[in-house]
Amino acid sequence: MGKLEGRVAIITGAGGGLGSYIALRLAEEGAILMLTDFNSKSLKETAARCEHAGFSVTAKTADLSDPKQIKSLVQDTIGEFHTIDILVNLAIAIRTPHSFLEHELDTLDESYRTGLVSTWLMMKESYPYLKQGGGKIINFGSGAGYYGLEGYAAYAAIKEGIRALSRVVAREWGKDNINVNVINPGALTDGIHAHLDSLPEDQRDPQLLGFMPTAIGRYGEAYKDIAPVVAFLASEDARHITGQTFFVDGGAIINA
């Protein structure tokens, strides 16, 4: 029996490389999954990966910049599973990096709507159900915000906003036995590996994509290094941890 046996989890941004492996890991731990993403193709690929491993999941395509679709997603989850125990907020749109002076307001607005607003509303809509059984919320920050990665002004600002929001909600909802934590991940996903493989050999250094060198001398893997920490924070093993940011980055934070 897994540590999340029978627990109902919503994972937003589940179509991405990181989201896909988090979904698989939580399914392996016994969680009942509602997966969502804006990209229906990648969402289907995540569902297929879980089903190929022997797990049944529910997947719903949704644009989480739309409050009505967020409400619908939560209500569909309740209609099918009757509760929500775990909320993993990964969703955010990412554009090709460009300098701050080249950033237009629509870039900031897109990151704001798909990242901060979606995280905000997913937490609010899920709150009545999370508090019933002691819920766990895992939000995602980014080294782009913490380190100030060039080219990611909008994305970085929103990711730091999510960290600040998480600390406030952790304080306010602690009395409701809801834990809220943040992961700042450092891992090479399938998409990043594919991109690196497409480059000339002398340009395949992840540092050229903004990855900080790590203290342990290697870059993380989504399934082996990030997903287990999500599973831990989603479990009762982490019941006395809230309002924290976990830098799951191989020591990049101390090697900067």
**Whether this model's pTM surpasses 0.85:** yes
Torsion of CA 9, 109, 150, 246, to 10 degrees: -20
91-105, 132-146, 206-220, 235-249: range with lowest mean pLDDT = 206-220
Q: For the packed helices 17-28 and 190-197, what is the interaxial angle rounded to 10 degrees?
A: 140
pLDDT over threshold 80, residue 245: yes
Question: Catalytic site residues?
Answer: 155
| Identity at 141, one-letter amino acid code | G
Q: Cα 71–74–75 angle (5° rounding)?
A: 85
8-255, CATH topology level: Rossmann fold (3.40.50)
Band of the pLDDT at 155, cuts 50, 70, 90? very high
Mean pLDDT of 209-236: 90
Please tell me the predicted confidence (pLDDT) of residue 139. 98
Mean pLDDT of 92-119: 92
Band of the pLDDT at 195, cuts 50, 70, 90? low
pLDDT over threshold 60, residue 169: yes
Contact 233, 183 (CB under 8 A): yes
34-43, 123-132, 139-148, 240-249: range with lowest mean pLDDT = 139-148
Please tell me the predicted confidence (pLDDT) of residue 8. 98
Give tens-digit pLDDT for 52-91.
Answer: 999 999 999 999 999 999 999 999 999 999 999 999 999 9
Band of the pLDDT at 204, cuts 50, 70, 90? low
Work out whether the CA dihedral 30, 32, 37, 39 comes out positive or negative.
Answer: positive
Please tell me the predicted confidence (pLDDT) of residue 214. 85
Contact 214, 252 (CB under 8 A): yes
Mean pLDDT (the chain) is: 92
